Amino acid sequence: MTGGGGPRLSQATLEALPGEVGRPAYDRSALRTGIVHLGIGAFHRAHQAVYTDDVLAAGDHAWAIRGASLRSPDMRDALAPQDGLYALDVRDADREELRVIGSILDVLVAPEHPEALLSAMSDPGVRIVSLTVTEKGYCHRPADGELDETHPDIVHDLAHPGAPRSAPGFIVEALRRRRVAGDAPFTVLSCDNLPANGRTAQRVLSRLAALRDPELGRFVQNELACPCTMVDRIVPATTDADRARVTGLLGVEDRWPVLAEPFSQWVIEDHFPSGRPDWAAAGATFAPDVEPFELMKLRLLNASHSTMAYLGCLAGYGTVSEAVADPDLARLVRDLMDEEVTPTLPHLPGFDLEGYKDSLMARFRNPALRHLTAQIAMDGSQKLPQRLLGPARDRLRAGASIDRIAIAVAAWIRYVSGPDEQGRAIAVRDPLAEDLAKRARAAGSDAARLCDAVLGVRAVFGDDLPSEPRFRGPVEAALRSLLSLGSAATVRAAVQARGPA
Ligand code: CS2
């Protein structure tokens, strides 16, 4: 991380910013906290915080955000000297726009002071607790979406409910406190890439609450609102080069700006018994049923991302725009979307699905974002079920083929068992990394044995897929090809087998 030592972006230096840089068009000292956000990473700051910034600018001052980090103090350390301010740098091939976001008041660091976070969440003025804690933050079993009661953080939180570690642990304890105090529950707003994310959150929370106290479990199950959302914006991790560039453009140092593409979408189920901001005025969509949008986004955008990430990492492509510049890989991804995913999607009347897929391909090509394949490749065990295995199950149920899905799944197996095609170790970042590595070591490089070993991870593949020959067969064939011919040749053969476009 750079630390230039020059003046910092802050409330005091806002006025000196160059005229073209956007900034909060409201009096920040008049804001009231309405939202506590768990998981204050780049995605939240480039997405929900921006919609909320618009709401505040429109004059509704009741919805400022207190952020919380459930792990490291880095974000607090970067933003505290900046009064919570940071720049959003929106980039594509031919434009770059900078805007300073003011909706986040401060950042709490949960492990340093769990009580401070619990008391922030128990404030009756807080009406929404939103989350971007990534898939693994729900402490669920990815294959069936149920709470993993053996998860170390859940075990900890049941033993120490007043000083939790996990997001579910904090939420359940804060809800309990509000109930005791006679305050209405907040609404829990999941903004993670999970299928039916609100329902997943509620399932996990009611189970955890019930393990603490059956009565609390019933309360969470019956009274807690957990609307589903579909969130979309491509937000690569900020690099030191980005920090230096933004600092140069602002004229003051921003220790942690966020970069994003121009596109942004937020579809929200409208169920907020305690009230909500008018995010629609900022471009969000409130819909009675979000699931069709979530499925479409997870299975088209995120599944393509994961496919490019594993095949791309193996082939030596560092970024998504490099991966999609390979015509064979681009063809494979588009075929995956058109032939194997689209038939599994619910019909969205009046929605231009072809246009949506075209726009995804264009977004993947955005050369101004260095979106690392290694970033997307992480936590595959938590991502595969909703991105690739859900569509695979739907296809198999319909008696249809899954050849491209199988290549993507095999690429993940190949990736987590390393080394890469140049013989270098792959740094697999995944909560199951150790188990996966152990299985891979025991299986060696024989495709059939490796396939069986990794498909045996029930938390990912469930009880059905490993024993389904129409799944296992194509996955093993693709893995054999990846092991013997490599990623590029496997992709080329798949595309050629299909015939000319
Ligand atoms: C990506 C997502 O890292 C990943 O797994 O697929 O973060 C993706 O960029 C966002 O969901 C886009 O909205």
Order of strands across the sheet with 229-232?
A: 229-232, 265-269, 285-287
DSSP state of 367: T
Q: Which two tokens stand for residue 333?
A: 């991804």
Q: How remote is the CA of residue 47 from the centroid of ligand 1, in Å?
A: 12
**Same domain, residue pair 99 and 189:** yes
Q: What pLDDT digit, counting tens, does each position of 77-127 carry?
A: 999 999 999 999 999 999 999 999 999 999 999 999 999 999 999 999 999
Q: Are 300 and 360 in contact (CB under 8 A)?
A: yes
Q: Interior CA angle at 342 toward 339 and 345, to 5°?
A: 150
pLDDT at res. 6: 85
Domain end marker among 232, 258, 287 = 287
213 within a domain of the structure (yes/no)? yes
Q: What is the mean pLDDT of residues 386-411?
A: 98
Cα 386 from Cα 193, distance rounded (Å): 9
By 3-state DSSP, what share of the chain in percent is helix, strand and coil, each rounded to 5?
55, 10, 35
Secondary structure element (H or E) that encloses residue 279, with its range: none
Q: What is the mean pLDDT of residues 295-305?
A: 98
Q: What percentage of the chain reaches a pLDDT higher than 70?
A: 98
β-bridge partners, 38: 68, 131
The reply to whether ligand 1 has any atom less than 6 angstroms from the CB of 233 is yes
User: Residue 178's CB: how many other CB atoms inside 10 A?
Assistant: 18
Q: What is the mean pLDDT of residues 52-64?
A: 98
Position 176, amino acid: R
Per DSSP, the three-state class of 374 is helix
Q: To test the ligand 1 pocket, which listed residue (134, 192, 231, 376) has its Cβ within 8 A of the most ligand atoms?
A: 376
Domain span holding position 380: 291-497
**Across 22-36, 224-238, 486-500, least confident range:** 486-500
3 within a domain of the structure (yes/no)? no
Cα 149 from Cα 177, distance rounded (Å): 23
User: DSSP secondary structure string, 147-195?
Assistant: B-TT-HHHHHHHH-TTS--SHHHHHHHHHHHHHHHTPPPPEEEE-SS-T
Q: Are 36 and 65 in contact (CB under 8 A)?
A: yes
Domain end marker among 264, 287, 310 = 287
The reply to whether ligand 1 has any atom less than 6 angstroms from the CB of 234 is yes
β-bridge partners, 37: 67, 130
Q: What is the CATH number of the domain that holds 452?
A: 1.10.1040.10
The reply to whether ligand 1 has any atom less than 6 angstroms from the CB of 387 is no
Per DSSP, the three-state class of 344 is helix
- The protein residue with its alpha carbon nearest to ligand 1, atom 9, reads 234
Q: Evaluate if pTM is beyond 0.85.
A: yes
pLDDT at res. 1: 46
238 within a domain of the structure (yes/no)? yes
Cα 137 from Cα 205, distance rounded (Å): 12
Total domains, the chain: 2
Cα 336 from Cα 406, distance rounded (Å): 10
Cα 92 from Cα 263, distance rounded (Å): 10
Domain end marker among 287, 316, 342 = 287
